[in-house]
Amino acid sequence: MSFIRTVLGDIAPETLGVCYAHEHIIIDPGHMTERFPEFLIDSVDLAAEELARFRQDGGSAMIDSMPTGGRNAGKLAEVSRRTGVHIVSPTGLHLQKYYPADHWSGSKSVVCLADYFMREITFAINDAENGAVRKPANEAANASPGPSPRAGLIKIASGLNRLSEQEKHVFAAAAAAHRNTGCPILTHTEQGTAALEQIKLLALLGVDLRHVVLSHTDRKPDLSYHREILRTGVRVEFDSAFRWKEVNPTRDLVLALAPEFPSQIMLGMDAARRTYWRSYGGSPGLSFLLTDFRRQLLEGGLREELWERIMVANPAEAFAFAG
Ligand SMILES: [Zn+2]
């Protein structure tokens, strides 16, 4: 039986409901927020307020995409308990620039990184950070799964235009953890670039591309590029719908591609700044896709059935563990 691993436990994919595929519900203080203070989103109360509104507007689930270095799975679990919104939290690693220069991840072998990812998927997310070096492997292996949140996703990232050697290293570790656990993979692309290189590498490493989601590719809103990506069978997540000003290339991409690739497109907001959240006094708020963007797409001719696939069926399939 396939399942989706949320911070409150495993659920049947068909119970996921309307899902945002790339969010930032909590980003705790640390190296990242010291460098980028606007990324600080650490309040459980304000997250619960925003997600309660999301739920009222028809939302049911969110994929949090913050791996170690700002992640707080305990807080995510509390937000989920308070609001009833399903939340998935990732293991994995973000771009190197989000970690201190001497971060442990830079000096670990592929095997060691894969082992760290697998422990967070199988046993528990290490909210104390630095898990890969602090916890002896035998201690983690003997621990019972218990109530601690487990990772339901592996987040990996590449920079502009090409993958660095270190990024390839992390991709190899993620692929190994995926092959061993079936855990789905969510990638960050920088401005939508290097998508084809990411796909080629993951396919070569034996990853099931139906459980790979490439994020932010709509920041490179080129139709033929997207057709090339989607023909591989991988899935994509668009999250710039609320960022464009006059024209909306994200809307145009969805309208053009959803009928052709109905099971491969998903939406999110990647709203990793407090200025985007209503509960922090910003706008447009996390209900934007369910209210404004849904209306824009339906007015543009998207069939209701395709909206349902994008928001419900596609995330349920993509974020389920591979068999
Ligand atoms: Zn993100």
Q: Tell me the two tokens of residue 125.
A: 């997310």
% pLDDT > 90, the chain: 90
Give the pLDDT band of residue 323 (cuts 50, 70, 90): confident
CB 218 within 8 A of CB 249: yes
Question: Ligand 1 centre from 45 Cα, in Å?
Answer: 21
pLDDT at 139 over 70: no
Give the pLDDT band of residue 144 (cuts 50, 70, 90): very low
CB 75 within 8 A of CB 48: no
Q: Tell me the two tokens of residue 166.
A: 């270190």
For 220, which DSSP code?
S
CB 320 within 8 A of CB 3: yes
Sheet of 265-267: strand order equals 90-92, 153-157, 185-188, 212-215, 235-238, 265-267
Name 296's Cβ contacts closer than 8 Å, sequence gap at least 6. Answer: 241, 248, 251
Question: Ligand 1 centre from 206 Cα, in Å?
Answer: 25
- Amino acid identity, residue 32? M
Which tens digit of pLDDT belongs to each residue from 163-213?
999 999 999 999 999 999 999 999 999 999 999 999 999 999 999 999 999
Q: Looking at residue 273, what is its pLDDT? A: 95
Question: Ligand 1 centre from 255 Cα, in Å?
Answer: 23
Question: Ligand 1 centre from 273 Cα, in Å?
Answer: 10
Which tens digit of pLDDT belongs to each residue from 237-295?
999 999 999 899 999 999 999 999 999 999 999 999 999 999 999 999 999 999 999 99
Question: Ligand 1 centre from 134 Cα, in Å?
Answer: 27
Q: Looking at residue 131, what is its pLDDT? A: 36
Find, among 82, 145, 91, the residue nearest to 115 by Cα.
Answer: 91
Question: Ligand 1 centre from 191 Cα, in Å?
Answer: 12
Question: Ligand 1 centre from 104 Cα, in Å?
Answer: 22
Question: Ligand 1 centre from 53 Cα, in Å?
Answer: 21
Question: Ligand 1 centre from 239 Cα, in Å?
Answer: 9
Question: Percentages helix, strand, coil for the chain, rounded to the nearest 5?
Answer: 45, 15, 40
pLDDT at 128 over 90: no
Task: State how far the Cα of 70 lies from the Cα of 272, in Å rounded to an integer.
Answer: 11
Task: State how far the Cα of 188 lies from the Cα of 98, in Å rounded to an integer.
Answer: 13
Which tens digit of pLDDT belongs to each residue from 99-109?
999 999 999 99
Find, among 173, 240, 186, 190, the residue nearest to 214 by Cα.
Answer: 186
Rounded alpha-carbon distances, angstroms, from residue 66 to 40, 44, 71, 254 = 12, 15, 5, 25
% pLDDT > 70, the chain: 94
Give the pLDDT band of residue 133 (cuts 50, 70, 90): very low
Which tens digit of pLDDT belongs to each residue from 70-79?
999 999 999 9
Q: Looking at residue 146, what is its pLDDT? A: 42
Question: Ligand 1 centre from 132 Cα, in Å?
Answer: 23
3-state secondary structure of 241: coil
Question: Ligand 1 centre from 176 Cα, in Å?
Answer: 23
**Domains, in order of start, for the chain:** 4-318 (3.20.20.140)
The strand pair at 9-11 and 19-23 is best described as unpaired
Q: Looking at residue 232, what is its pLDDT? A: 98
The mean pLDDT of 228-233, rounded to a whole number, is 98
Give the pLDDT band of residue 129 (cuts 50, 70, 90): low
CB 266 within 8 A of CB 218: no
Question: Ligand 1 centre from 215 Cα, in Å?
Answer: 8
Task: State how far the Cα of 283 lies from the Cα of 268, in Å rounded to an integer.
Answer: 15
Question: Ligand 1 centre from 164 Cα, in Å?
Answer: 19
For 115, which DSSP code?
H
Question: Ligand 1 centre from 271 Cα, in Å?
Answer: 8
3-state secondary structure of 61: strand
Question: Ligand 1 centre from 94 Cα, in Å?
Answer: 9
